[in-house]
Amino acid sequence: MAGPASAPPSVEGLIIEGARTAASDGGLIDVLNPSTGERLAQVARATPADVDRAVASARAALESAAWGGMTPADRGRLLFRIAQRIRERAEELALLESRDNGKPLRQARTDVQVAARYFEFYAGAADKIMGHTIPLGPGLLDFTVREPIGVSAQIIPWNYPIQIGGRAASAAMAAGCTVVLKPAEDAPMTALRLGEIALECGTPPGVLNVIPGLGPEAGRALASHPDINQLTFTGSVEVGIAVARMAAGNVVPVVMELGGKSPNIVFADADFDATVKGVTTAIFQNAGQTCSAGSRLLVERKAHDEMVERLKAHTRAMRIGPGPDDPDLGPIISQKQLDTIERYIGIGREEGAEIVAGGRRPAGPALKGGFYIEPTVIDRVGAGMRIAQEEIFGPVLSIITFDDLEEAAAIANRSQYGLVSGIWTRDINKALALATRMKTGQVYVNTYGAGGGVELPFGGYKKSGYGREKGLEALLSYTQVKNVCIRYS
């Protein structure tokens, strides 16, 4: 499934103005397969000069008759064709995503389908971006229109390349914007395929440019570029702050989807079979490398022992292996991230927490060269410990106990983050009372993530960011309001 070992790595160019092109200085980035540590491909390493080319390409396309003059209905038809083509190439894209990112193949397949769904969803919305009339009385007609905000710069992370690339690009294109998409250098392959697919489906050149590159080079040049009109960023808080400052220098609005330390709150009356499945999926999916991962488990004290035993049994049964082999848990994206996760597990021990499952690097012939860590459950965690407050970005679950609803709310909200929360209980009154107290952008009850949540506005409170992606709410970020007032007699 992983292909012949002797096959030479591919060399992938940037996509600018509808064509593949080398970086201006000929630079390349080695893309590693996290499952083996071997080189998967080389991609062009975009320079600031390449960013200038891509932005100029997007600007020209925005003002062209081919795109600027396209009707909203035709934009919708184009987006729907892209969705269909993604589905036609679904298995190819899923395997590439699994090799590039390391995630289990079934998770990569889901990501591909979700990416297609984004294009479908926004295809249906493209001709429904409407304004309003404002009653001012006789002699005055006032109305608003929503116009494309312009060139959208989109800096996406390595954990969900095709899904996050699809969600941002599809919404921007539905609104009539053009896009410069910079995927992370760790996993850029499916974002480049997305750019190819858009062109195959008739997207005018320059509407979707894809420029892999390093953050300090291409990312900095894009975020600070004077000719972009909007910026969408997904990544860490520290980098997000720097990116926002760069954009502010040109008065460019930003959508920020940053870190998370999301709680799953489990009451003693919960359905434990469904809860264990939901809780473990929320933290171990994509090896915990998810901004919205349910990395804190708050358990009512009288349910603690049973939950811990169930979690220990579940994690011990999980199969670890290369992503294309479709295990329960794939590798971490890089050696650097693996070292960070191990460091946090060590910090947990030093703080007095107890590792009740996992916490080590697994061994075995199939894992040689890859970046693997066991699914890890840490018990007896205090709400103020670093492992309960700082984002680890790995398959590490911290367990904290509580005695009543008020304490659960206080612990859950004791965080600089506020992205997602989950509540597990059979008591709807208890669920709603707690949901109103959560300082998070999304609250789930007896579920978590809602199957990709294409239709559901997604974004954070506090340092988890601002603005919203997904759903119709996302279109607001890619449009600007113009008011027209007419006096008549």
Catalytic site includes residue 257: yes
Q: 320 in helix, strand or coil?
A: strand
Task: Sheet with 133-134: list strands edge to edge.
Answer: 133-134, 140-148, 479-487
Q: 227 in helix, strand or coil?
A: coil
- Return all residues near 272 (Cβ < 8 A) that are at least 6 apart: 303, 306, 307, 310
How many angstroms separate the CA atoms of 389 and 353, rounded?
14
3-state helix, strand, coil in the chain (%, to 5): 40, 20, 35
How many angstroms separate the CA atoms of 210 and 198, rounded?
11
How many angstroms separate the CA atoms of 319 and 298, rounded?
26
Q: What does the block give as tokens for 446?
A: 């007896």
DSSP classification of residue 141: E
Catalytic member of 97, 185, 257, 374: 257
Beta strands in 126-217 (DSSP E): 133-134, 140-148, 151-155, 178-182, 208-210
Q: Nearest to residue 206, comparing CAs of 183, 173, 234?
A: 173
Judge residue 305's burial from the number of C-beta atoms within 10 Å of its C-beta, 0-12 exposed, 13-18 middle, 19 or more buried.
exposed
How many angstroms separate the CA atoms of 164 and 146, rounded?
24
Tell me the sheet residues that pair with 376: 396
CB environment 161-189: b (16+ within 10 A), e (fewer)? bbbbbbbbbbbbbbbbbbbbbbbbbbbbb
Is the separation of the CB atoms in 418 and 462 below 8 Å? yes
**For residue 270, which amino acid is it?**
A
3-class SS string, 40-93 = EEEEECCCHHHHHHHHHHHHHHHCCHHHHCCCHHHHHHHHHHHHHHHHHCHHHH
- Return all residues near 55 (Cβ < 8 A) that are at least 6 apart: 151, 153, 180, 222, 225, 227, 228
How many angstroms separate the CA atoms of 163 and 354, rounded?
35
Catalytic member of 12, 97, 291, 469: 291
CA angle (213 as vertex; 188, 47 as ends), nearest 5: 150
CB atoms within 10 A of CB 136: 12
Annotated active-site positions, please? 257, 291
